[in-house]
Amino acid sequence: MKKYKRLYLSLFVSRRLLDCRFLIIFFSQIILLVFTYYGSFLLRFDFRLTPQYQPIFLETLPIILFVKLPIFYATGLFRGWWRYVGVSDLLDIAKASVTAFVLNYLVLLHVFSISGFPRSVLAIDLVVSILVIGGTRFAVRIYTETTITQQARKPTLVVGAGQAGRKIVQDLKCNPSLDLEPIGFVDDDRSKKNIKIQGVRVLGTFDDLPELIAQSKIECVLIAIPSAKGATLQRILEKCRACKIELKILPPITDRINGTDPVKQLRHVRVEDLLGREPVSLDLASIGEKFRGRTVFITGAGGSIGSELARQIAAFSPTKLVLFDRSENELYKIEVELTAAFPQLRLMPVVGDILDVRLLRELIAETRPSSIFHAAAYKHVPMMETNCFQAIRNNVFGTYNVALVAKQYGIDDLVMISSDKAVRPTNVMGVSKRVAELVILGLQNQSTRYISVRFGNVLGSNGSVLPLFQQQIARGGPVTVTHPEAQRYFMTIAEAVQLVLQTSVMGKGGEIFVLEMGEPIKVVDLAMNLIRLSGFDPGRDIEIVYTGLRPGEKLCEELMLEREDIKSTQHKKIRVLNGGQAEFREIQQWLDQLSEAVEAKNVYSLVRTLKKIVPEYCPSKEILSLCDIDRHDIVIGYDRARAGLAVPRIGDVA
C-alpha cells in the first residue's frame, strides 16, 4: 500500500511541476542571467570586484534583465523541453544573446549614459550567456539520456547513418518509453566508419551485420533508409535472417504521416518493402484543386482500391464523399475509419448495387458529384470462370449503368479501375473488364470525360495472394504456388491509388492509362520472401507446393497489346494508349447480345459474343467445357456455372 502511495505522490508532484513549467523556466532564467552578468564583471576585473564597480553592477542589473527577458521570451527560450535541446536551440540562444548585447549597448551607453560603465563587460556577458544558458540545457539532456541508457533496453543496430538514422537515434536516446538502446550504426559508405553521430559510432558496413550482431548481442535491427531499393533490403534481410533477431524498417516518406516522429512509424519489414518501388511524385496542387470543396462518388468504396481512394481523396478536403458498396460490413469499416481521421468531412455511406440503376439515378441527382471513381467489380479470376454470368452482369452492365447515369447528369469525369487481365484475356474476369473499357470509350461525349486506368496486382488487396500466404505460414505450411514460372506485376495499394488520382487530373477523356508496374515478379519469389520475413526458411521450415494454374490464369500477365499505340506522358510512371474505339450504336448491339446470352444462361452464346467484341479473347478450357460444341443452341452445365439474376435489357436500363 505504501508503494502505491509513493507512486501516486510522485505522479502528483510530476504533474504539478509540469503545470508550473513556465514559471520554473522563467525564474531559472533570471537566476542564470544574474549569474552570467555578475560573472562577466568578475572576469573583467580578475575576480576582484572593487567597491567602485559594485554600484554600477547593481544599477545596471535591472536594465539588463528588462532587455534580456522579453527577447528570450520572444525567441521561444521559455518554451520547449530541455531534454530535447539541439543545435537549433543553441542557435536561438545565440541570436537572443546577440540581440540583447546590441540593445543593452545602446540603452546603457546612449540612452542612460551610465558613466564609468566598462563596455567590455557586455561582450564578456554575450559569450558567457551563450555558454551558461546553452550548457545548462545540454546538461539536462545529457543527464536524461544517461538515465535512460542505464535502463534495461534491447541492444539495437541502426542501418543507415543518414538523416533518418540520426533522427531515430536521437529519439531513442531521449524517449524513456522506448525499449531500444542504439549501440551503433551500420552504413555502406565506408568513409563514415568510426565517426560518431549523436554519440553513437558507425561500426561497419552491411556485410559486417552478422559479426556485429553476434559481438554486441544485438536483439533488434532498425533499417533507417527510406529510399532503399528492393535489392538493398533483400541484402540486409539476407544478412540478418540467420541471426533470428527483430527487424524493423522506417517506411518511405510517401507512406508516412506528416509531422509524426520517425520512431513512431517504425514497423516490421513487409514483403511490399522488397519491391523497391520509387516514391510517387504527384501534382498535389492540381489534385487538390480538383477535389477541394467538391463532392466525389466512389463505387466499390468498401473494397481495397475503393477504400484507399476514399482515404486519399479525403485528405484533399472535399465537401462530401459518397461511399457506395453492396457490402455493409466493409462500408461500415471505412466509414468509422474516415470519421475518426477526418471529423469535418461529410460522409454519405450508401449500401447499394451498381445494377440498381434507379438507386444510382437518385443518388447522382441528389448529390451531384463532380467526379465518379468506379472501383466496383468482381475480380477473382477462378471464381468468375464458374460464375461467368454474374461476372458479365456486374462488370459490364454495372459499369454501363454507372457510366450512362454519369452522362445523363453531366458529371465532369468518370475514372474506371481496369486490370492488366483485360489484355489478351484468357478468363471471363479479364474479358469483362476489356468490354467495360470499350463501353465507356463508346459513351465518350462532350460533357463527361471517361477514363480507364489499367494496372496489375496490388499487394494486400482483398483476394490477393499475400493474405493467403500469410494464413498458410501461420498454419505451418505448406504455402501453395500455382506454377514455378508464374509471374505477376505487383505494386502497393497506396501507390496505385496515388497514380489513379494523378490520371484523373491528366485525362482529357477517351484514354486508357497504363501504370508503370516495373518488372514482373515470380510468385514463388514472393512466397519465399514472405516465409523469410516470418522467421522461417523456405523448404526447411515451410514447404512450398505447386498446385498448377487455376482456371483462366496465365503464366505471365501483360499490360498492353502489340497493336495498341502506347505513349509516354508528363509523368514517368503513367503511360497512355489507344485502346480502340467503339460507336455507341455498336455498344448497344453488343450489350443486347450479351443480355440475351445471360438471360438464357447460354454459355456458348456468351463466349461467342465475347469473342466477337474482343477478338483476342482466348476462353479457358473450363469455360469451353461448359459449352456443348456440337449443339450450339443448348446450354450445358447449369450446376457448374451458377445462374445469376436476369439482366435488364438495354432499353430497360437506359
Compute the distance between CA of residue 488 and CA of residue 457 in angstroms, rounded to an integer: 7
Contact 438, 497 (CB under 8 A): no
The stretch 494-512 carries a mean pLDDT of 87
H-helix or E-strand spanning residue 591: helix 584-599
For the whole prediction, is pTM greater than 0.75?
A: no
Compute the distance between CA of residue 335 and CA of residue 324 in angstroms, rounded to an integer: 11
Runs of H (alpha helix) within 230-356: 230-241, 262-265, 284-291, 304-314, 328-341
Compute the distance between CA of residue 34 and CA of residue 37 in angstroms, rounded to an integer: 5
Q: For residue 277, what pLDDT is reported?
A: 61
Compute the distance between CA of residue 321 and CA of residue 311 in angstroms, rounded to an integer: 10
The pairing of beta strand 511-515 with beta strand 154-159: unpaired
C-alpha cell recorded at residue 39: 560573472
Compute the distance between CA of residue 384 and CA of residue 393 in angstroms, rounded to an integer: 11
pLDDT confidence of 81, banded at 50, 70, 90? low
Cβ-proximal residues to 74 (8 Å cutoff; 6+ apart), any chain? none
Alpha carbon of residue 525 to chain centroid: 24
> In angstroms, how far apart are the furthest CA atoms of the chain?
123
Between helix 120-149 and helix 87-106 the angle, nearest 10°, is: 160
- Of 354, 301, 310, give the one whose Cα is nearest residue 501: 310
- Of 201, 218, 141, give the one whose Cα is nearest residue 175: 141
Compute the distance between CA of residue 466 and CA of residue 381 in angstroms, rounded to an integer: 16
Compute the distance between CA of residue 242 and CA of residue 390 in angstroms, rounded to an integer: 49
Contact 182, 173 (CB under 8 A): yes
Amino acid (one-letter) located at 557: E
Contact 212, 218 (CB under 8 A): yes
Q: Where is pLDDT greater, at 190 or 149?
A: 190
pLDDT confidence of 630, banded at 50, 70, 90? very low
Give the 3-state secondary structure of residue 59.
Answer: helix
Give the 3-state secondary structure of residue 57.
Answer: helix
The stretch 300-323 carries a mean pLDDT of 93
Verify whether residue 522 is a known catalytic residue.
no
pLDDT digits (tens, 9 = 90+) for 428-484: 999 999 999 999 988 887 788 999 998 877 776 666 777 788 888 888 889 898 888
Contact 344, 314 (CB under 8 A): no
Residue 129: phi and psi, rounded to 5, are: -60, -45
Please tell us whether the domain made up of 284-456+491-517+565-578 is placed in CATH 3.50.50.60. no
Q: For residue 433, what pLDDT is reported?
A: 94
- Cis status, amide bond into 478, omega within 30 of 0: yes
Compute the distance between CA of residue 95 and CA of residue 98 in angstroms, rounded to an integer: 5
pLDDT confidence of 638, banded at 50, 70, 90? very low
Percent of the chain at pLDDT > 70 equals 80
Contact 83, 25 (CB under 8 A): no
The stretch 288-317 carries a mean pLDDT of 93
C-alpha cell recorded at residue 451: 477514363
Q: Where is pLDDT greater, at 370 or 624?
A: 370
How does the average pLDDT of the chain come out, rounded? 79
pLDDT digits (tens, 9 = 90+) for 567-614: 777 777 788 876 566 777 888 888 999 999 999 998 889 999 999 998
The β-bridge partners of 514 are: 454, 575
pLDDT digits (tens, 9 = 90+) for 240-277: 776 777 777 776 544 444 445 556 667 667 776 666 56
Amino acid (one-letter) located at 361: R
C-alpha cell recorded at residue 557: 500477365
H-helix or E-strand spanning residue 18: helix 2-19
CA 126, 129, 133: angle at the middle one, nearest 5? 155
Contact 493, 461 (CB under 8 A): yes
The stretch 184-203 carries a mean pLDDT of 84
pLDDT confidence of 300, banded at 50, 70, 90? very high
Compute the distance between CA of residue 162 and CA of residue 197 in angstroms, rounded to an integer: 9
Residue 368: phi and psi, rounded to 5, are: 50, 60
Q: Where is pLDDT greater, at 297 or 122?
A: 297
Segments of the chain assigned to CATH 3.40.50.720: 152-269, 284-456+491-517+565-578
The dihedral of CA 499, 504, 505, 506: what is its sign? positive
The β-bridge partners of 522 are: 487
Given a cut of 80, is residue 410 above it in pLDDT? yes
Q: What is the secondary structure of 158-225 as a DSSP string?
A: EE--SHHHHHHHHHHHH-TT--EEEEEEE-S-GGGTT-EETTEEEEE-GGGHHHHHHHTT--EEEE--
CATH of span 152-269? 3.40.50.720
Q: For residue 402, what pLDDT is reported?
A: 96
pLDDT digits (tens, 9 = 90+) for 219-229: 888 888 877 67
Percent of the chain at pLDDT > 90 equals 23
Give the 3-state secondary structure of residue 412.
Answer: coil
The stretch 312-317 carries a mean pLDDT of 93
Amino acid (one-letter) located at 421: K
Residue 47, classified by CB atoms within 10 Å of its CB into exposed (0-12), middle (13-18) or buried (19+), is exposed
The stretch 294-315 carries a mean pLDDT of 94
Q: For residue 46, what pLDDT is reported?
A: 76
Q: 239, 290, 421, 554: which one is catalytic? A: 421
Tell me 150's DSSP state.
Answer: T
C-alpha cell recorded at residue 335: 466509414
Q: For residue 257, what pLDDT is reported?
A: 41
Q: For residue 562, what pLDDT is reported?
A: 55
The stretch 500-511 carries a mean pLDDT of 88
Compute the distance between CA of residue 533 and CA of residue 388 in angstroms, rounded to an integer: 37
Cβ-proximal residues to 254 (8 Å cutoff; 6+ apart), any chain? 279, 280, 494, 495, 498
The pairing of beta strand 544-546 with beta strand 479-481: parallel
Lowest mean pLDDT among 285-294, 393-402, 576-585: 576-585
Tell me 635's DSSP state.
Answer: B
The stretch 484-495 carries a mean pLDDT of 82
Q: For residue 462, what pLDDT is reported?
A: 67
pLDDT digits (tens, 9 = 90+) for 128-186: 888 887 777 777 766 666 655 555 578 888 888 888 888 888 777 766 666 788 888 88
C-alpha cell recorded at residue 595: 443480355
The β-bridge partners of 200 are: 197
Given a cut of 50, is residue 378 above it in pLDDT? yes
Lowest mean pLDDT among 145-159, 534-548, 615-629: 145-159
Compute the distance between CA of residue 162 and CA of residue 465 in angstroms, rounded to an integer: 35
pLDDT confidence of 633, banded at 50, 70, 90? very low
pLDDT confidence of 645, banded at 50, 70, 90? very low
pLDDT digits (tens, 9 = 90+) for 17-49: 445 666 777 777 788 888 888 888 888 887 777
Q: How far apart are the first and last CA of the chain?
A: 77
